[in-house]
Structure 1
Amino acid sequence: MQFLHEMPAHAAWDLRHTMAVDDLLKDYLKTLPAGATMAPPRLFVYQGTAFSRACPNSGIDAPAYCPGDHTIYLETGLGDQVAAKFGDFGALSILAHEYGHAYLFKRKQHPEGKYGELAADTFAGGFARFVEQKGYLDPGDIDEARATFAAVGDYEVYHHDHHGTPAERRQAFEQGYQQGFRLPGDAATPPTTPLPPAQAPGAPPTAEQNPPPPIAPLNNGASPVIPLLGLGMGGLLLILIVVGVINMINQARVDD
């Protein structure tokens, strides 16, 4: 890993773990389509605010990937908070998320808006599956990542920088973890259904985990008697028309 700048990190998110995860992410890239020939992103670890001429935003104060210089800007403040609250793998999954952005941009398949964020979450889930299969995770690490992605979701659905709701972000990570990462639009991606949120042992099921039965379709207040009455009146009118025609024919014969 190439460190452009180093600042001391705190809590469980230390540079030693960051370097190890960066190496594993490089290995993971090689398992993805075109990943073996793709240059991995540079990593800039810092604390505070960073500036880059290549990045469209002036002042980077949170973990971000800049396509202009193919660099991940890993600001340690958020990672420290996540590590203290959820654990080290939750914080390190943020780095995997930014790697997801890098891979998607290099493949020129990065979705716009929140869908790009959710795709990067799915990448992080695929990476978690990758390292777990290699036996590198501790018990509870996956739950730390699940909690992290749910915690960084937001409900500002009409904001231009909306990243996805907590349920959407947790579901995106879970999709990558359960099924492996797939590029957006890949026909091999099986359909998925939303996963219920984590539930504390002994807690009653939530509305999402135990949804109410579906509501029967409304009939807009119409009674089934009305169509029957309409049908009967139509038949009666037809009989009257036939009787009238017969009477006209008989009258014409009498006149003749």
Structure 2
Amino acid sequence: MQFDDNADLDTSEVQDVRGSRVPGGRATIGGGIAGIIALVMGLLFGVGPDQLGLSSGDTGTAAVTASSAAQVQQSCHKGADANTKADCRMVAVVNSVQDFWRQEFTRRGASYSAARTTLFSDRVTTACGAATAAVGPFYCPGDHKVYLDLGFFDELRTKFGSSGGPFAQAYVVAHEYGHHVQQLMGTLSRSQDGRQGADSNAVKVELQADCYAGVWAHHATSTPDESTGRPLISSLTDADIQDGLSAAAAVGDDRIQAKFQGRVTPESWTHGSAEQRQQWFYTGYRTGDMAQCNTFR
């Protein structure tokens, strides 16, 4: 994945609070089996901290990421920065994803409301509750924001077996913005019926977000950036798409369950199998048509 070196990055779409302390105490995940399950569920990404039962409390010693707040505003100006720096890459991906959805909503006679991404380290307070980095990337419908600790991408590669690579990271971000699209369209709430399992609405919502990520990928190199009129992403290769598919498979319910509990229990799925996640991402990428992302059929 390559960005246009001369393109301007819009850092207003990304809030950088890494290294800052969060008021109101520290987020905590309960210990024991419940804590392990919450951690694994969070690392599937897409789940807000309120769904994990997180609360304010003391976690004891916390990991610290050495980074000053507002770093992206200081160092992420051009596409060339996105080609060399991980946090600037996140800014560029957020810009590209939102450029596409603005234009797609307009094409359909609707209005797209932008969502900011918050980069944090260790812990963060959201309208959905307090969360630690262990929750993984998530979208909070309460404040219409995506939350991301960049350390998750190391976990995705080393603990979950993704091939890694810049587009694996882009897939994660695009998936979370898929949830924002669902929120704007009124479909995200369908996951809140309290059901789990391979045929639950929770799984169907997650698979649709995967498909929407694929739709963006299909159009990524042809969507003009608002500031330059040229696509922000100048090239996307087959290898990049394979990175995205690898990440989608790595966070399949079946693979995570097999790895962390030694058995696969489809009746407790909330995000879908590795095969399903790959299938729906590729459906979106192949067709480029969000109408093909009806996972509820």
**What residue number does 1:158 align with?**
267
The answer on whether the counterparts of 1:154 and 1:165 sit within 8 Å (CA) in structure 2 is yes
2:278 is the alignment partner of 1:170: yes
CA shift, 1:184, in A, is 7.5
**What residue number does 2:175 align with?**
97
2:35 is the alignment partner of 1:23: no
2:161 is the alignment partner of 1:72: no
The answer on whether the counterparts of 2:136 and 2:148 sit within 8 Å (CA) in structure 1 is yes
> Aligned-residue CA RMSD in angstroms?
2.9
Distance across 1 between alignment mates of 2:181 and 2:216: 12
CA shift, 1:59, in A, is 4.6
Q: Secondary structure at the match of 1:86?
A: coil
**What residue number does 2:207 align with?**
118
1:71-115 CA-partner distances (Å, limit 9, x unpaired): 101122222334673211111210000000011111102242011
Q: Identity of aligned pairs, percent?
A: 27
Considering only CA atoms, is the larger Rg found in Structure 1 or Structure 2?
A: 1
The answer on whether the counterparts of 1:89 and 1:145 sit within 8 Å (CA) in structure 2 is yes
Equivalence map 1:199-210=2 (5 Å)? none
Specify every segment of 5 or more residues in structure 1 that has no aligned partner in the other structure, as ranges: 192-256
TM-score (normalizing by structure 1): 0.63
Match for residue 141 of structure 1 among 240, 244, 251: 240
Equivalence map 1:213-228=2 (5 Å)? none
Match for residue 5 of structure 1 among 14, 17, 34: 17
CA shift, 1:180, in A, is 1.6
**AA at the equivalent of 1:177:** Y
Bigger relative contact order (CA 8 A; separation at least 6) = 2
The answer on whether the counterparts of 1:82 and 1:91 sit within 8 Å (CA) in structure 2 is no
Distance across 2 between alignment mates of 1:116 and 1:184: 14
**AA at the equivalent of 1:106:** L
Distance across 1 between alignment mates of 2:155 and 2:282: 22
The answer on whether the counterparts of 1:146 and 1:173 sit within 8 Å (CA) in structure 2 is yes
Specify every segment of 5 or more residues in structure 2 that has no aligned partner in the other structure, as ranges: 1-12, 20-66, 72-83, 192-201, 223-230, 255-264
1:51-79 CA-partner distances (Å, limit 9, x unpaired): 32x21575562100000011101122222
In terms of fraction of residues, the more strand-rich structure is 2
The answer on whether the counterparts of 1:109 and 1:183 sit within 8 Å (CA) in structure 2 is no
**What residue number does 2:287 align with?**
179
CA shift, 1:139, in A, is 5.0
The answer on whether the counterparts of 2:283 and 2:293 sit within 8 Å (CA) in structure 1 is no
**What residue number does 2:77 align with?**
none
Distance across 1 between alignment mates of 2:279 and 2:85: 24
CA shift, 1:49, in A, is 2.8
TM-score (normalizing by structure 2): 0.55
The answer on whether the counterparts of 2:168 and 2:247 sit within 8 Å (CA) in structure 1 is yes
**AA at the equivalent of 2:280:** A
Distance across 2 between alignment mates of 1:22 and 1:95: 7
**AA at the equivalent of 2:128:** C
Gap change, CA 1:83 and 1:92, over 3 Å in 2 = farther
Q: Secondary structure at the match of 1:72?
A: strand
1:196-237 CA-partner distances (Å, limit 9, x unpaired): xxxxxxxxxxxxxxxxxxxxxxxxxxxxxxxxxxxxxxxxxx
Q: Secondary structure at the match of 2:103?
A: coil
Gap change, CA 1:154 and 1:93, over 3 Å in 2 = same
Q: How many residues align?
A: 184
**AA at the equivalent of 2:246:** A
